[in-house]
């Protein structure tokens, strides 16, 4: 761990100067308490750094949570092992999953599935439903859809050859629209009060104001949507794996966690609003998930309760190159080579997800040694993504 200054601690051995400067600007905000923590996978974000843990007193920065509110991961360990997959064409399973779950930005279900109905009813009963309906009235059709970018669905094998199902997604278009509304409101709120900011995306809302209350309501709704969205997708993945292997899936272990969210937590003796933008909660013994990039390992972990990190850990590998730079640098041939032995989408659309577009997950995990212990190491055999 590096103490950058009295308000900023870093666990990142790979830290670009621009990322460091951005984090220092956020840490200088007057309501940060006691300090900000940079995770090993920290990289440049909008407003606040991706891979940062931001404790605030009496205020929240909406852009510090980001536009994919509640983004996170879910994993299930099944009763199957590598032998059950041997000799089977995993591209068939890739196709089944791809047809069962809408992929890519803007894609959604054509109709509400029966499994989604009780989840939709739960969301309709929550405070925040009026905001969700106003932002994206078709949100029920988004429940059970993946999105694009670094979101994925994977079938993986652990160190003992056991089959895991693993997915990564968030609150989809409705969460994005809700976040965008409140980021804009925060900017307007600060501007109306003559508050000068080092970065307009550090605009914040003060606790006790109607604007703050409205954001918290939308935030909690979107976080729950994201959680239920992952559940709905996992139900469909389980169904397709059962069909593929001609046997019902048994869920022997299950882990789910957010990594873009805000919760009320106690740290250093004070109740704070803790925003994790690209970070997971890692209380002592708490299960968590840290995925690598396409073609690399992912990890099932347990938290060590590190106090200085605000009981947090990284959420993945963290980008090394922007999407534009990755598309320019990497070739389809090289990506095909790196994905040997994995059933995947075989498309130029995934060049920006090339493993080398991300930091080395092995370095990230070494940097996180004081934050989590590794319970299982997963290697993907099927990778489903949206373009």
User: What is the CB neighbour count within 10 angstroms for residue 236?
Assistant: 20
Residue that wins the pLDDT comparison between 46 and 380 = 380
Structure tokens at 358: 């991300």
pLDDT of residue 93: 98
Q: Which CATH number covers residue 226?
A: 3.90.1860.10
Q: What is the mean pLDDT of residues 2-20?
A: 95
C-alpha span between 340 and 330 (Å, rounded): 16
**CB half-sphere exposure, 24, CA atoms < 13 A:** 10
> What are the pLDDT digits (tens) for 308-359?
999 999 999 988 888 899 999 999 999 999 999 999 998 888 998 998 899 9
C-alpha span between 203 and 62 (Å, rounded): 8
Band of pLDDT at residue 148, cut at 50, 70 and 90: confident
Residue 258: active-site member: no
pLDDT of residue 343: 94
Angle among Cα 116, 166, 103 to the nearest 5 degrees reads: 55
Percent of the chain with pLDDT over 70: 100
pLDDT of residue 259: 95
Total number of domains constituting the chain: 1
pLDDT over 80 (residue 47): no
Band of pLDDT at residue 5, cut at 50, 70 and 90: very high
Average pLDDT of the chain is: 95
* Catalytic site residue from 35, 315, 354, 376: 315
> What are the pLDDT digits (tens) for 202-253?
999 999 999 999 999 999 999 999 999 999 999 999 999 999 999 999 999 9
3-state SS assignment for residue 210: helix
Range of the domain at 132: 2-384
Where is average pLDDT lowest: 42-46, 50-54, 66-70, 104-108? 104-108
Element (H, E) at 56: strand 50-56
> What are the pLDDT digits (tens) for 153-173?
999 999 999 999 999 999 999
Band of pLDDT at residue 68, cut at 50, 70 and 90: very high
Structure tokens at 206: 């003060």
Angle formed by the axes of helices 172-192 and 210-245, to 10°?
160
pLDDT of residue 295: 87
């Amino acid at each position: 761990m590096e103490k950058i200054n009295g308000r900023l601690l870093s666990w990142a051995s790979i830290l670009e100067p621009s990322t460091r400067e951005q984090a220092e600007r956020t840490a200088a905000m007057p309501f940060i308490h006691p300090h900000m923590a940079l995770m090993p996978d920290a990289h440049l974000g909008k407003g606040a750094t991706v891979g940062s843990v931001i404790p605030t007193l009496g205020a929240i920065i909406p852009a510090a949570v980001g536009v994919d509110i509640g983004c996170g991961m879910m994993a299930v360990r099944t009763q199957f092992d590598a032998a059950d997959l041997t000799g089977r064409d995993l591209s068939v399973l890739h196709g089944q999953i791809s047809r069962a779950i809408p992929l890519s930005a803007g894609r959604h279900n054509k109709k509400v599935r029966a499994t989604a109905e009780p989840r939709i009813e739960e969301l309709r009963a929550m405070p925040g439903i009026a905001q969700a309906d106003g932002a994206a009235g078709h949100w029920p059709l988004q429940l059970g859809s993946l999105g694009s970018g670094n979101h994925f669905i994977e079938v993986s094998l652990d160190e003992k050859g056991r089959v895991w199902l693993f997915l990564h997604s968030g609150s989809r278009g409705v969460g994005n629209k809700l976040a965008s509304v409140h980021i804009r409101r925060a900017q307007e709120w600060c501007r109306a009060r003559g508050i000068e900011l080092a970065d307009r995306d550090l605009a914040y809302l003060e606790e006790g104001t109607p604007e703050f209350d409205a954001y918290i309501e939308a935030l909690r709704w979107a976080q729950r949507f994201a959680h239920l969205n992952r559940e709905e997708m996992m139900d469909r993945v389980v169904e397709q794996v059962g069909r593929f292997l001609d046997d019902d899936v048994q869920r022997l272990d299950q882990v789910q966690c957010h990594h873009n969210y805000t919760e009320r937590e106690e740290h250093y003796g004070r109740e704070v609003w803790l925003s994790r933008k690209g970070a997971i909660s890692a209380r002592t013994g708490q299960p968590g998930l840290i995925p690598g990039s396409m073609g690399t390992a992912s990890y099932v972990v347990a938290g060590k309760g590190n106090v200085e990190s605000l009981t947090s850990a990284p959420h993945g590998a963290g980008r090394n190159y922007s999407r534009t730079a990755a598309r320019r640098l990497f070739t389809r041939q090289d990506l095909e080579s790196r994905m040997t032995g994995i059933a995947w989408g075989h498309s130029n659309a995934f060049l920006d997800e090339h493993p080398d577009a991300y930091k080395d997950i092995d370095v990230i995990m070494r940097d996180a040694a004081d934050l989590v212990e590794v319970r299982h190491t997963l290697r993907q055999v099927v990778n489903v993504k949206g373009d």
